[in-house]
Amino acid sequence: MAAHASSERGAGSPADSTRTAFTRLQLMRYSLSRTGAVQLDENTTFEAQINPAEFSHSFGVQYGKTKAQGSPGEEPKFSSMDDERVSFSIVLDGTGVAPPVGGQPPDVKSQLAQLTKVVYEYMDIKSEPPYVRVLWGTLIFFGRLESLKSQYTLFKPSGDPLRAKVDMSFVGAMSKEEKSRVTSRISTSTRNVTMIEGDSIGSLCEDVYGDSSSFMKVARYNGLTDFRNIPPGTVLKFPPREQLG
């Protein structure tokens, strides 16, 4: 679910675009109701002393690439949307240079314990990693921790850490409510295509659906009596497959 500066995202979740930008990176646990609504847990929160110097936000798309051995290269066919991810590093400081924030402990060891409590420790009932909201500036991302790595860079004479760099990566988590909205948007969309010289209804089905097998259904959907001779300039409607019957 979903880093989000817009009001609605794929792997992310709805965000209020009118809210004030959050100047300090914040991680907060949340849960999902039976209807898929997000319920924030304001008592399980971590705020960064020092904001990340870099922030990575990636999206992915899966394509089908199977082909017969020895056949020429083919255009990849869309398969599905892949996971959305964010990754970044924060510094935990126990030297006093960067004062603790949000009532969090001053020492690095306790800060790291608070951080892992928010993003890593299993939830009591489900025994699985928690859902986490990542909030920073106009960015809002709903997901789950994928990896966490701590590197200690400064120590007391006793060996206790004074500074640590923590690398984190989160994968987007979409609620049932959001999935329903996305599916609804996809299933109700119809594409209009204007025929040009050299087009055929079969080639257009190939472009829209990834194969030409639905050409007869598309012809019937558009009320065509002669699908072999469609004049250039004709506008054809290509609805989702399930609406073709």
Same domain, 177 and 64: yes
Q: Are 52 and 147 found together in one domain? A: yes
Question: How confident is residue 161, by pLDDT bands cut at 50, 70 and 90?
Answer: very high
How far apart, in whole angstroms, are the C-alpha atoms of residue 33 and residue 24?
A: 28
H and E: helices and strands count for the chain:
4, 11
Instruction: Tell me the two tokens of residue 179.
Output: 């999935």
> Residues 119-154: pLDDT tens digits?
998 766 567 889 999 998 878 899 999 999 999 999
Give the CATH number of the domain where residue 115 resides.
Answer: 2.40.30.200
User: Is 8 within the bounds of a domain?
Assistant: no
CB count within 10 Å of CB 193 equals 17
pLDDT tens track for 162-219: 999 999 999 988 655 555 444 444 555 788 889 988 889 988 888 787 778 889 999 9
- Split at pLDDT 50, 70, 90, the class of 38 is confident
The CATH number that applies at residue 232 is: 3.10.350.10
How is residue 77 written in tokens?
């066919």
The tens digit of pLDDT for each residue in 224-243 reads: 988 888 999 999 999 887 78
Strands 77-81 and 61-64: antiparallel
Structural domain harbouring 206: 189-243
Beta bridge partners of 81: 61
Q: Count the domains in the chain.
A: 2
Q: Please check whether residues 47 and 122 belong to one and the same domain.
A: yes
pTM for the model: 0.61
